[in-house]
Amino acid sequence: MSLQHYLVISSILFTLGIFAVLTRRNAISILMGIELILNSCNLNFAAFSRFVIPLEEVEGKIIQNIDGQIIAIFGIVLAAAEAAVFLAIILAIYREFGSIRPDEVDTLKG
Amino acid sequence: MVVPLISIILLAPLAAFTIFALLGLAKRSFPRQDLLSTAAMLVALGCSLYLLKEVVPKPDPHTVDWISLGNITFSMGFYLDSVTVIMLIVVTLVSSLVHIFSIGYMHGDPRYPRFFAYLSLFSFSMLFLVVSDNLLGIYIGWELVGLCSYLLIGFWFEKDSAANACKKAFLTTRVGDVGMFIGMMILFWQLDFKTFSLYGEGGIFSAVATTDDKLWLSIAGILIFCGAIGKSAQVPLHTWLPDAMEGPTPVSALIHAATMVAAGVYLTARMFPILTPSSSLVIAYIGGITAIVAATIAIVRFDIKRVLAYSTISQLGYMMLAIGAGSYVAGLFHLTTHAFFKALLFLGSGSVIHAFHAMHAHHDDDHADNAEHDHSLVHEHGSEIPPDQDMRNMGGLRRKMPITFITMLIATLSISGVPFIFSGFWSKDKILGGVLGRAMEWNSIHHYVLFGIALCAAGITAFYMFRLIFMTFFGEPRNQEMHNMAHESPWVMTVPLIVLAALSFPVVNHLWFNKDYVKPPPQPHIQAPQHAYVPSDTKIGFTLFGLSEAEAADEEGGTDTEQSDKAHHAHEVAHNIAMVLSIIVAGLGILLSWLFYHRRRFSAEAVATTFRPVYNLFWNKYYFDEFYDGVLVTLTVWKARLFAKFDLSIIDGIVNGVATITQKIFAASIGFFDNRVVDGIVNRVAEVTWAAGGRIRRIQTGAIQTYLFVVLGGIVLIILIFRAL
């Protein structure tokens, strides 16, 4: 398993996410697309952290730098929080418009 | 001791007024303003009486600097001499009694507290006028009493006649005051004085003594006397005083009989040193003419207050005559005696009116429906006599109102000059004697004429005063309904009457006859004419009064040193002659009055018919009001119309023309530029912006996925650009 494998998986996830965000007609599906994008990013962080950053020697021990992996975990937490806010917004939009289809919510239309 | 006393005298009434005014600002009123004001006056009276004992007779000036302008310093100060103190006592005494009388008379009036506040303000102003030692201070007091007079004449301002009367009084006296102010300015301009006070070293009177300029002094004297003509209601500015009787009767007693109108006499007396022979003669003639004119008008009046008003004018004329004839003491003496008995007569008439007043109010209630109509009637005939003041409704009141009757009778005997036991006799005799004495001393035809006028006026005074008494108190009631309503007044009103009646007896004469106490100030510009001598016809007098021909002959051939002795002798003789003559004319007047109005031996109506033109002249008050209406008022109105026409046609024409030109030419062209050019630019800019906005807005679809697509495209583009670089 090399870095390339991870990056390919990550690219596939990202592309699927973008596709879902741009094409879905349901706000929940768009949310799911966003989650895919976020997770592709997390995967990248973890992968780069593992394969790109060199090992360090501190006080005679060999140590792996795990900053990228920690950021990935932060990303997951962020995604959870973002999902909660997004769902609340969707609920509010549903109450206001009676629909969660983004193309029907177009009051900003010029 | 003097300064605190004077301060108390001035500040007590002022404080009473100030309390009223300050509470008035807070929309409150002191519960017993009447007692407060009365107490203030009694305090002032007490202090004045103490002053009489304390300081006088030596003059006692106190001044402080008021305003400094360059090298001129205006000072304010007090000057106390015997005359000032006597005036203070007269003013405070009459004012106190009027306050007490008003408690009864004004009872139940809706503006009862205000009345007393005005009385307090008046008392303060009058006292300030009396004690001031300089012309500006006198002028300030002078205008303040004028203001109070205005406020009090118009006290019942709901009545049109009262509202008109107060305006008339204010404006008429103002005519005189302008003259007075010009006179003051001439004095300040022409004289070389160091301090502003009239008295003392470097004062105005010492400057007067050293100047030679008789012409300016005469002019200034006459102009200052103009103020006195207005204030003391002398001919030709006397017409306001009878109308001033529209005010409440206590006001008539205090202001328009005893004090304020006497201020003119007081001022003339204070100005005694600046008088020259010519200004003296003018003063004497105006006084004499006033005395006789007002007396003749009084004969035919039926309104009890109007009779007294004309009587006041006549008596004030007497005082002016005395001062003009050089009888300083006599004029001021008559001022004080007159203040007491005339205040008594007015308060007595007030008592009579008060007795009828319930009747009058009843009458008003009956005609409440016609109130509007009555009102217009009064307006049309401004001089209509109110029924409760009309002597033709009175008669037989002596049994109903004994105290009022007796006190008024005493005052009438006093003013008529009934000999020896009444004060009026002594003061009037002193005036007559003074005028005749001056005539004999100077052998002056003018003063003989004036003496004749004064003597006639004395007889007429006795006649019309007894006419008033006979018509009011004697005979049978003419209006039974009103007579039944009449009643004696309450004690607050009768006590002042009794006190004033006591003062109508010669109780204070000793002050005036004491030559060391009241000294006339010197008149540096009046000397006896060069050829003055005791004329031969006074020999008759000499013989009559027990001097032999030989003694009289001795008197004639006197040297200069004997001149003054001779003048003194002439005055004594003159006094004896005047006394006899005045007793005769007073007796004649009373006798005629008795025959006409009590015994009805002659009919007044028949006499009036016989002398119709003379009667009409008296009845129409010598047509003074008609003259002023016809000449001054018409001229003023005509002038005003002319100016109005000028304003309307020429001034308005110019203004309107300028306006039209501006409107038609400038405004139109500027408007065109604004509408077309400025607005055009603005509108075009707006149209372009609008059109552009209409196209650009299409970009905003409102669909979130479109935006996301564009964002994605943008990111891809950025990445590509960075790669290309």
pLDDT at A6: 93
Across B247-251, B425-429, B564-568, B585-589, least confident range: B564-568
- Asked if residue B83 lies in contact with residue B269, where contact means CB atoms within 8 angstroms, the answer is yes
Amino acid letter at B297? I
Helix (H) or strand (E) holding B107: none
In chain B, whose CA is at the least distance from the CA of A108?
B702
Rounded to a whole number of angstroms, the distance from the CA of B710 to the nearest CA of chain A is 10
B695 touches chain A (CB under 8 A): no
Percent of chain B with pLDDT strictly greater than 70: 89
Rounded to a whole number of angstroms, the distance from the CA of A96 to the nearest CA of chain B is 16
State the Cα–Cα distance between residues B255 and B37, nearest whole angstrom.
Answer: 16
Helix (H) or strand (E) holding B417: none
SS3 B236: coil
Q: pLDDT class for B524, splitting at 50, 70, 90?
A: confident
Residues of B in contact with A109 (CB under 8 A): 700-703
Phi, psi of B70, rounded to the nearest 5 degrees: 60, -125
Percent of chain A with pLDDT strictly greater than 70: 99
pLDDT at B196: 72
Torsion angle, alpha carbons of B338, B340, B346, B347, to 10: 180
State the Cα–Cα distance between residues B489 and B402, nearest whole angstrom.
Answer: 10
Residues of A in contact with B708 (CB under 8 A): 21-22
Residue B382 pLDDT more than 90?
A: no
pLDDT at B367: 40
State the Cα–Cα distance between residues A87 and A29, nearest whole angstrom.
Answer: 11
- Asked if residue B313 lies in contact with residue B481, where contact means CB atoms within 8 angstroms, the answer is no
Phi, psi of B420, rounded to the nearest 5 degrees: 70, -50
- A15-46: burial string, b at 16+ Cβ within 10 Å, e else: eebbebbeebeebeebbbbbbbbbbbbbbbbb
Residue B20 pLDDT more than 50?
A: yes
Contacts (Cβ under 8 Å, ≥6 apart) of A21: A30, A33, A34, A37, B705, B708
Rounded to a whole number of angstroms, the distance from the CA of A46 to the nearest CA of chain B is 23
In chain A, whose CA is at the least distance from the CA of B700?
A110
- Residue B366, token pair as written in the block: 């009956």
- pTM for this model (two decimals): 0.73
B701 touches chain A (CB under 8 A): yes
- Asked if residue B582 lies in contact with residue B429, where contact means CB atoms within 8 angstroms, the answer is yes
- Asked if residue B388 lies in contact with residue B328, where contact means CB atoms within 8 angstroms, the answer is no
Q: What secondary structure does DSSP assign to B155-208, as a single string?
A: GGTTSHHHHHHHHHHHHHHHHHHHHHHHHHHHHHHH---SSSSSSSTTSHHHHH
State the Cα–Cα distance between residues A93 and B368, nearest whole angstrom.
Answer: 81
| Contact criterion met (CB < 8 Å) for A108 and B705 | no
Q: pLDDT class for A76, splitting at 50, 70, 90?
A: very high
Residue B561: count of CB within 10 angstroms of its CB: 7
State the Cα–Cα distance between residues B561 and B618, nearest whole angstrom.
Answer: 49
- Residue B408, token pair as written in the block: 């008024």
pLDDT at B60: 60
**pLDDT tens for each residue of B249-271:** 999 999 888 889 999 999 999 88
| Contact criterion met (CB < 8 Å) for B705 and A109 | no
Amino acid letter at B379? H
CATH 1.10.287.3510 is right for the domain spanning A3-104: yes
A18 touches chain B (CB under 8 A): yes
Q: What is the ipTM of this complex?
A: 0.82
A110 touches chain B (CB under 8 A): yes
Query: Which candidate from A23, A107, A110 shows the least CB-CB separation from B698?
Result: A110
Q: What are the extents of the domains in chain A? A: 3-104
State the Cα–Cα distance between residues B8 and B177, nearest whole angstrom.
Answer: 29
User: How far is it between the farthest Cα atoms of chain A?
Assistant: 65
**pLDDT tens for each residue of B531-546:** 544 444 444 444 444 4
- Asked if residue B523 lies in contact with residue B275, where contact means CB atoms within 8 angstroms, the answer is yes
Residue B549 pLDDT more than 70?
A: no
Rounded to a whole number of angstroms, the distance from the CA of A28 to the nearest CA of chain B is 14
Residue B428 pLDDT more than 50?
A: yes
pLDDT at B540: 42
Contacts (Cβ under 8 Å, ≥6 apart) of B673: none
pLDDT at B563: 59
- B152-184: burial string, b at 16+ Cβ within 10 Å, e else: bbbbbeebebbebbbebbbebbebbbebbbbbb
pLDDT at B190: 83
